[in-house]
Amino acid sequence: MRTLGRALLVTSSQICTISTATLNYMINGYIREGNINDARKLFDRNPFSRDVVSWNSMFSGYIKHDQIQHAHHLFDQMLLRDVVSWNAMLSGLHKVKNPQGIYHCFLRMGRDGLRPNDFTFSIVISALTNTGFNLMIPQLHGLALRSALNSCVFVGSSLMRGYTDLGDRKGLYLVFDEILAKNVTSWNALILGYMELGLSGEARRAFEMMPEKNIISWTTLVNGYIRNKELDEARSIFNGNCERNVVLWTVMVSGYVQNGKFVHALELFLLMLKSGTQPNQFTFSSALDACSGCSSLLMGKQVHSNMLKSGIPFDVVLSTALVDMYAKCGDIEAAFCFFESVPKKDLATWNSVIGGYARHGLATRALEEFERMINGGVKPDQITFVNVLSACVHGGLVEEGERHFNSMTTKYGIKAGMEHYACMVDLYGRAGFLETAVKLIEGMPFKPDVVVWGALLAACSLHSSLELGEFAAKRINTLQKDHPAVYSMLSKIHGEQGIWGTVIELRKVMKERRAKMQNAGSWIEASSGP
């Protein structure tokens, strides 16, 4: 193939005379080999042998090799386009996530007098869903009706996803009802749509009415209940399936982890092993997350051992989960050793080791890893800076924290979020710069939440600032009434000021409301959970 192709490549002043079939065969061969430039040379030197297939193959090749601008330029040069040409161009625009381009391309197709087919509608509807152009979904539905394609399974499934995105339950069911030959895919799309709209009852009824179910049906229903935080219902459906595969097991284990039920997740993981189902990398990753959540180093080591015995390849997701597990379970040195063994570290891997050092109070090492990450060409994100600022808080590094906080926007273009402001308030507060903390809160671009005011209250408790402490406590009670930490910290402040009458009253309220005394620690960590 390659030798024949080279023989046909002549100087630009010459034109080869080969058949159209040979030209198309050669172009497709070059594209399969990844030689897009040789394909283009052959295409350019045989203008009289080209047909619409040649053109379609050429710009489809550009799309396949992520050269959308070359594809677009070649597409505009075509004198005669068929529906395959338009579909290929729409697919390319969808691939690069250009909904505006999809919209204009679809309009041009209509003006050219080409009638869309089922593939056209499926691409356009899917491309415009979850974008600012999703309001066109009903119009596309109308066009599909006029083209008698609304009853097609592929078009119907795409429209159902579109109406789900719009939150239109009537539109969702209307499209499902219009599909003439409903198959298991159509029913699954209906169940998924209902679940995403929070209509778990309707989803369950649709599931029970299905004439045929597959493993995707069961998985969709279980996952839907999990997304709607109905874990008991999810487990009930899960238990009712006798033919569970690794995906269904993983969905249920992951569901428990997502909802903070870490012990339940590990118990189910052990049942999975006993059932003989081999976990995949996603199952192991969820099991490690569960170990991190309940700080079970022993169980984490057992999961790690099981991974090694299974011979499963350690991809970056699994490696990151291991680093995170060892760091959160208290073995920071093991976390760092495994981190160093990861050949291709991504941002999540770096965030795990930086966050691990920060949680263990090893501020210097956390900041060193951050600098190493930056020097390695990895761009930080919001999570990175939460970890970096937390490290500065634990290390009492006020100037360092200010520098990193400011660099978020000026150097990396990242907008500071609530957690970043909470870290800075905590940093200033612990250092005794209470007025600076208040000024920062007053200058926030959004209303401070309980965690931000809680960080200020904790600082007031640390430095016995009564007036400012009462001010912060009032703000917390406005957002979350009767937060137990408020009474505990106010009691501490009043006690240090010698106002024992108020201390007695506060402790009486705490006893009535069964609020416990708060241990020393960061309000941010206490409020953010495991």
Q: Is 508 contained in some domain?
A: yes
pLDDT in the model for residue 228: 95
Amino acid at 385: F
pLDDT in the model for residue 295: 92
pLDDT tens track for 84-101: 999 999 999 999 999 999
Q: Which domain holds residue 513?
A: 450-530
Residue positions counted in the chain:
530
Q: Is 517 helix (H, G, I), strand (E, B) or coil?
A: coil
Q: Is 467 contained in some domain?
A: yes
pLDDT in the model for residue 185: 93
Identify whether the C-beta of residue 437 lies closer than 8 Å to the C-beta of residue 456: yes
- As a whole number of Å, the end-to-end CA separation of the chain is 59
Identify whether the C-beta of residue 384 lies closer than 8 Å to the C-beta of residue 347: yes
In whole numbers, what is the pLDDT of the chain averaged over residues?
87
What are residue 476's phi and psi, to 5 degrees?
Answer: -65, -45
Q: Is 487 contained in some domain?
A: yes
Q: Is 518 contained in some domain?
A: yes
What is the residue-wise DSSP string for 202-256? HHHHHHHH-SS--HHHHHHHHHHHHHTT-HHHHHHHHHT-SS--HHHHHHHHHHH
Mean pLDDT over residues 151-168, rounded?
A: 92
How far apart are the C-alpha atoms of 28 and 35, rounded to whole Å?
10
DSSP-H helix ranges across 360-433: 363-375, 382-395, 398-410, 418-430
What are residue 296's phi and psi, to 5 degrees?
Answer: -100, 90
Q: Is 525 contained in some domain?
A: yes
Kindly state the percentage of the chain with pLDDT values over 70.
87
| The two structure tokens encoding residue 363 | 């501020």
Mean pLDDT over residues 357-367, rounded?
A: 94
Identify whether the C-beta of residue 100 lies closer than 8 Å to the C-beta of residue 72: no
Burial status of residue 467 (CB atoms within 10 A of its CB: 0-12, 13-18, 19 or more): exposed
Mean pLDDT over residues 415-441, rounded?
A: 95
Task: Give the range among 108-112, 119-123, 462-466 with minimum mean pLDDT.
Answer: 462-466
pLDDT in the model for residue 9: 45
Q: Is the pLDDT of residue 7 over 70?
A: no
Amino acid at 155: V
Number of domains the chain is built from: 1
Q: Is 199 helix (H, G, I), strand (E, B) or coil?
A: coil
Q: Is 479 contained in some domain?
A: yes
How far apart are the C-alpha atoms of 400 and 157, rounded to whole Å?
53
Instruction: From residue 78, give the alpha-carbon distance in Å to each of 50, 69, 71, 191.
Output: 11, 15, 11, 43
pLDDT tens track for 245-276: 999 999 999 999 999 999 999 999 999 999 99
Q: What is the DSSP letter of 481?
A: T
Strand residue runs (E) in 390-522: none
| The two structure tokens encoding residue 499 | 């106002």
Q: What angle do CA 410, 415, 418 make, to 5 degrees?
A: 135
pLDDT in the model for residue 460: 85
The label of the residue with tokens 């308030």 reads: 425
All residues at 6 or more sequence positions from 303 whose CB lies less than 8 Å from its CB, including other chains: 269, 284, 287, 288, 291, 325
pTM to 2 decimal places? 0.76
| The two structure tokens encoding residue 191 | 């169940």
Q: Is 320 contained in some domain?
A: no
Q: Is the pLDDT of residue 513 over 90?
A: no
Q: Is 233 contained in some domain?
A: no
Burial 114-125 (b: 16+ CB within 10 A, else e): bebbbbbbbbbb
